[in-house]
Structure 1
Amino acid sequence: MKKKYTIQKSPFVVPTTDGKLIEEHFGNATDKNNQVSIAHMVAPPKWKEPFQTPEFDEYTYIIRGKKQFIIEDETIILEAGQSIKIEKNTRVQYSNPFEEACDYIAICLPAFSIDLVNREEN
């Protein structure tokens, strides 16, 4: 009988060039699941990404540290224990302008794909 659960013991570590740790537990890179992606991330101090307008809803839960979001024209800072849902097709910039690393969980519906993130050129 096929088991009706999957335990992830070896998440896919996404290669990055900006010092950010991305461990995808479920999603396109790990199990070819394009419905949802779940990743553990650590953004180093002073890290930031370019603005983007993703074609997926993104949920973020902060475990440790702080993370800054510029959503449309509003700046929001979340701390440990707080979470946010950013609706798809919303212009956003993620960053950690602070002195300590930010440890968080990101969930994307549908799953994160570089083809759907729509990052702006610097």
Structure 2
Amino acid sequence: MDLFRTPQVVLFTRDINRAVSFYRALGFDEAFRTPPAGTPIHVDLVLDGYRLGLATETSIREDHGLDPIADGQRAAVILWTDDAASGYERLIDLGATPIKTPEPWLDRLLIAWVEDPDGHLVQVVQAFR
């Protein structure tokens, strides 16, 4: 029996509705929300079997007694694609802040970087060899 299972990353946000809308527009489907009605404090989204959680900065502070940081480049959501340039442009169209246009890396990948509306890094990766 394994001790751990089903890993997930949770990003902290100051505007959960905006964050949920952004990631849903990328193709993530909602899998969990609490509370079920009204403005949520936590939402889990799933894309291709990967679960991404979004939690309000206020909830983390008030419910768990922690001191979260809800903006800045602390983590990166990685999105694989067959078209890094189109993925990069789609993210920008959805409100992401451009950081780096697609460029080759390791002679086999094309990588671009943006920040989501909360400042979390999103990397778009395309294998090209």
Tell me the TM-score normalised to structure 1 length: 0.25
Structure whose residues are more often helix by fraction: 2
